[in-house]
Structure 1
Amino acid sequence: MKKYFLKCAFLFLSAVVYGQTGHIMQGVGAVNMSMGGASTAQPLDISGALQWNPATISTFDRKIIDFNIGFFSSSPELSSSLPAGMLGPGAPGVSGVTEDDRGISLMPAIAMVWGKEDSKHTFGVSAFGISGFGVTFPEEANNPMSSAFNPLENSNPVNYPQAARGFGHVESDYMLLQVGFTWSYEITETFSIGVQPTFNYAALELAPSPLSSPSQTLGYPTSDKASSLGFGAQFGMFYNSPKGFKLGASYKTAQSFSDLEFKNTYLNGTSAPDTAFNMDYPAILSFGLGYSKGDFDFAIDYRMVDYENTDGFADNGWEIATSGPGANFPTGAVKGFGWENINIISIGLQYKGIEKLPLRIGYTNSSNPIANELAFFSIPATAVIANAFQFGFSYPLTDSLMLNGVYHYGTSDGKTEGSMLDPTPDVMGGPWNANTNPLGAIPGSMIGYEMTTSMIQFGVSYTFKQ
């Protein structure tokens, strides 16, 4: 019953959340997004405070509820090429681009804080979609198995049918809902601490599934949507100087999940062997600086996301068979994404000089977790945004009800690009060699992806009367 309830909440709150920095949302709610996600030392709203530093909810001395919904779209492009001769003796090289056709997604979030002016204790609860990725790349129609195949026109080999050694139709959906219960305590009038136990529900679906070993005749199978429960915590400190300077720090532990257990099916409808995969959520260390004076509120955050010590992201390359005829050779199943740690800078500025219309601008910069040589392994998770720009506003509808809005635009700032990989051993005519080519890079090949994102988000915040 508990798992069913969490699944229903998950479907409502994070059915279509997609990451901006790695697979992590850069901000939560219209106010926090409009500040570029900067909130570790500048709690302008309860959603941003609950997401990035539990200690900062001590600044709210009323009961407040905040609900947000965003309309998000992305436009990933997947490209690849093979050199001349790869499709047969004398065959020309092929290259092409496939555009994602996923469409608009919804991004809801809800939070509530209970605070009292004469109390040192403040409590909060939140349900946020904090992570996700997803792509839909259709199968390439102009492929070698088509009677109308023309290699001189746009032809993307990575999306060739599996019978032509491509992946065919590529689709992925990963989503993570996090529920947090937060407590903050004012040690002094200027210094607070906070703690937040977190409970998570995640789901992943892959078509085809690179986590499975492919059949020599049927190729890679498609997985069902597997789900997993996880837990973790977040701790924070916050210093609020009477002169307007603010300092904050928080640490979100790695969120530990149970294995995702997949039921798999080959393209012809027959059952494939089940697979299990563990994918945790990385630890995040955040530091923030804020300053408020007159009509201005400024915030800057630095975050380090620890992918390199996170199950599912730390390992890379191919699984190696340990027994049987193929012992010591790749099975064709992928170990993990192999992502590197990323650094994120978030900057935001709020101007309150216009009566009843606070305005905000925000910028977020993130390093790319995907090394070029491992780009092939992250085809299902191309949502990496290097630069994001936001503009937001607030407008009081009543004394208690505030309307918030934001427009977001993000870009990957160029293409993540590497070689196409083939785990076929060199003894069978393939490129893989344990010593000289352990990833199986195809000489002269290319795989790459880039994208832009845009979003309009609105929220309402209601402050209860004392």
Structure 2
Amino acid sequence: MQLKKLAAALFVAGVIAPGAANATDGYFQPGYSVKSVGMGGVGIALPQDALAAAANPAGMALIGNRVDGGISLFRPVREASVSGLGPTTTYSGNDSSSFLIPEVGFNYMLNPTMSVGLSMYGNGGMNTGYSTIGNSGLPYMNGAGVDLQQLFISPSFSIKLNPSNSIGVAINLVHQSFRANGLGAFAQTSGPFANASTSPSNVTDNGHDSSNGVGVRIGWIGEIAPGFSLGATYQPKTHMSSFSKYSGLFAGGGSFDIPANYGIGFAWQPNQQWTVAGDVERILYSGVPAIGNTIDCFYTQSCQLGGSNGPGFGWQDITVVKLGVAYAINPSLTVRAGWNHSDNPIPSSQVMLNTLAPGIVKDHLTLGATYTLSPAMELSFDYVHAFKNSVTGALPAQFGYPAGASETISMYQDTVGVSVGWKF
């Protein structure tokens, strides 16, 4: 398959590698370019660079001819604490502690009203590795963890319908990879998790597997008053090929689709110095069985891992609110700040399986700046602090845990990024 070959070549070349550790709006990124992230991740009504198609392809008709490339360093901290089985003990999920996430975008104006572009970015991901969790009493061995990476290659076309309105479409060519380790308890034929999977040999420790799919994102941006714009975007669920090596883990025989998401946004520029923008986004995690199915049926032995109705991570749909401001200090220097708040997708009843995927961060503070080196060249920076959040849930009595036994998962994260933009 040509998509798979292209994606593999990009990974090998380091254009987009490795994937996000734990992106923090669930497992989605809070924003898709260094400029956007510096303003809380806004972008639906405020295109700023050639990564604009990731948030709203309509914005590509508004940014001119340019190339942008950047890289961000993620440092997430993931922990799991177990109480009620002896002294409370905390286990680190940080076997891998730092992750580099590149981004590349290109946009070309065919004429004053039409553009074609190509945006390449990591949509999100999750990574955990617990080297000492084997003595925790949880159903995990030392080294347990997962690694999910998602690469989007998005050619786009956008057009200005008139001076005030633009629309756009991006075709998302998606490649994802996944690996799970240390889940042997779910592949046993005896014990509390006996016959937990439809395919015990395809649950864990099979190395990385890959999956591919094609999706679409559409969008609109309209200036409804001088200096004030609205935007809207929609991305339906992207159907992906199955992870065959993990057909006994994910519901539906290894299926792991990309959730549908949609959003609206505004951008207001009251003068030449100030810009204020905001987005509201909805991510439909519950529409993907591997993500949204709860573990509850597992307790009653009415389902198995990998089955059509098999348990997933139990994630709920979330709403994300993003607010950002930018201030041009002078023609050469613009500074940015923002706030990103998302719901926590993981209820307390689903904590045990989400030891592997603690995507529970809710609040992010972001800062950024752009310095213009020349009329054609600019350098941008961002910083994000995702504040610590924790969720505690009872360990299930159905698996033999005593009353009062519980687990708490926690996560926080810091990110710094830099990008270069070239106008031509």
Tell me the TM-score normalised to structure 2 length. Answer: 0.88
Residue 8 of structure 1: CA displacement?
Answer: 2.7
Give the structure 2 partner of residue 157 of structure 1: 137
Is contact 1:10–1:177 with CA below 8 Å preserved after alignment? Answer: no
Shift of the 393–332 alpha-carbon distance from structure 1 to 2, 3 Å rule, reads closer
Residues 1:211 and 1:336: Cα distance change in structure 2 (over 3 Å): farther
User: Residue type of the partner of 2:55?
Assistant: W
Contact map agreement 1:184 1:192 (CA 8 A) in 2: yes
Amino acid at match of 1:157: G
- Please say if 1:346 is aligned against 2:349: no
Q: Is the 8 A contact 2:19 2:151 kept in 1?
A: no
Cα separation, 2, equivalents of 1:358 and 1:26? 21
Any conservation in 1 of the 2:140–2:182 contact (CA below 8 Å)? no
From 252, 261, 265, the counterpart of 1:288: 265
Structure-2 separation of matches of 1:211 and 1:190:
59
Which position in structure 2 is the counterpart of 1:437?
Answer: none
Over 3 Å counting, the alpha-carbon distance change for 1:44 and 1:373 in structure 2 is same
Tell me the alpha carbon deviations over residues 192-226 of structure 1, each in whole angstroms, 9 at most, x when there is no partner. Answer: 11111111001110112479533438997423211
Aligned-partner Cα distance in 1 for 2:262–2:216: 12
- Say whether the 8 Å CA contact 1:81–1:445 is kept in structure 2: yes
Structure 2 residue 140 is the aligned partner of structure 1 residue 191? no
Greater displacement, 215-224 / 67-76: 215-224
Q: Is the deviation greater in 4-13 or in 280-289?
A: 4-13
Mapped partners of 2:66, 2:260: distance in 1: 28
Q: Output the amino acid matched with 1:54.
A: P
Rounded Cα–Cα distance in structure 1 between residues aligned with 2:25 and 2:88: 29
Q: What is the CA–CA distance in structure 2 between the aligned matches of 1:330 and 1:30, rounded to whole Å?
A: 43
SS in 1 for 2:374: coil
* Equivalent in the alignment of 2:226: 243
* SS of alignment partner, residue 36 of structure 1: coil
Aligned partners of 1:208 and 1:223 also within 8 Å: no
CA contact (8 A) 2:133 2:144 kept: no
Which residue matches 1:66? 68
Structure 2 equivalent of residue 177 of structure 1: 151
Call closer, same or farther: CA 1:328–1:304 in 2, change over 3 Å.
Answer: closer
Match of 2:115 among 111, 122, 128: 122
The reply on whether 1:113 has 2:107 as its aligned counterpart is yes
Q: Which position in structure 2 is the counterpart of 1:258?
A: 241
Offset of 1:330 from its aligned partner? 5.9
For 1:137 and 1:111, locate their aligned partners in 2 and report how far apart those are by CA, in whole Å: 35
**Separation in structure 1 between the aligned mates of residue 170 and residue 73 of structure 2, nearest angstrom:** 28
How far apart are the structure 1 equivalents of 2:362 and 2:234? 23
Residue 80 (structure 1) shift: 1.1
Q: Are the counterparts in 1 of residues 351 and 391 from structure 2 also a CA contact under 8 Å?
A: yes
**Gaps spanning 5+ residues in structure 1: where?**
84-92, 144-155, 159-164, 266-271, 322-326, 425-429, 432-441
Structure 1 counterpart of 2:197: none
Residue 385 of structure 1 pairs with residue 389 of structure 2: no
Name the amino acid aligned to 2:62.
T
Q: 2:55 aligns with which of 44, 52, 57?
A: 52
Partner of 2:82: 80
Deviation at 1:123, TM superposition (A): 1.2
User: After the TM superposition, which of the residue ranges 385-394 and 374-383 deviates more from structure 2?
Assistant: 374-383
Offset at residue 403 of structure 1 (A): 0.4
**Match 1:449 to one of 392, 409, 422:** 409
Counterparts in 2 of 1:357 and 1:463: CA distance versus 1, 3 Å: same
Cα separation, partners in 2 of 1:320 and 1:95, compared to 1, 3 Å: closer
Q: What is the CA distance between 1:384 and its match in structure 2?
A: 2.7
Distance 1:221 1:132, change over 3 A: closer
Aligned-pair distance for 1:383?
A: 3.1
What is the rounded CA distance, in whole Å, between the counterparts of 1:212 and 1:223 in structure 2? 14
Residue matched to 1:203: 177
* Contact 1:32 1:38 survives alignment (8 Å): yes
Matching of residue 9 in structure 1 with residue 5 in structure 2 = no
Matches of 1:257 and 1:383, distance apart in 2 = 21
Quickly say closer, same or farther: Cα 1:235–1:166, change in 2 above 3 A. closer
Letter aligned with residue 59 of structure 1: L
Q: What does 1:284-363 align with in structure 2 at a 5 Å threshold?
A: 284-294=261-271, 295-317=273-295, 335-363=311-339
Alpha-carbon shift at residue 169 of structure 1 (Å): 2.5
Kindly state the Cα deviation for residue 42 of structure 1 after the two structures are TM-superposed.
Answer: 1.3
Q: What count of residue pairs does the alignment treat as equivalent? A: 404
Deviations 1:158-207 (A, max 9, x none): 3xxxxxx5543322100000111111111111011111111100111011
In the other structure, the counterpart of 2:200 is none
RMSD: 2.7
Tell me, in whole angstroms, the C-alpha distance in 2 between the residues paired with 1:286 and 1:30: 20
In 2, the alpha carbon distance for the partners of 1:388 and 1:184 equals 31
Highest Rg: 1 or 2?
1
- TM-score normalized with structure 1 length: 0.81
Task: Classify the secondary structure of the residue corresponding to 2:289.
Answer: coil
d(CA) in 1 for partners of 2:71, 2:294: 36
| Distance of 1:234 and 1:210 partners within structure 2 | 38
1:95 aligns to what? 88
Cα distance in structure 2, aligned partners of 1:127 and 1:221: 30
For 2:60 and 2:129, the matched residues in 1 are separated by: 39
C-alpha deviation, 1:359, in angstroms: 0.3
**Residues 397 and 403 in structure 2, CA contact (< 8 A), matched pair in contact too:** no
1:395 equivalent to 2:371? Answer yes
Q: CA deviation at 1:407?
A: 1.1
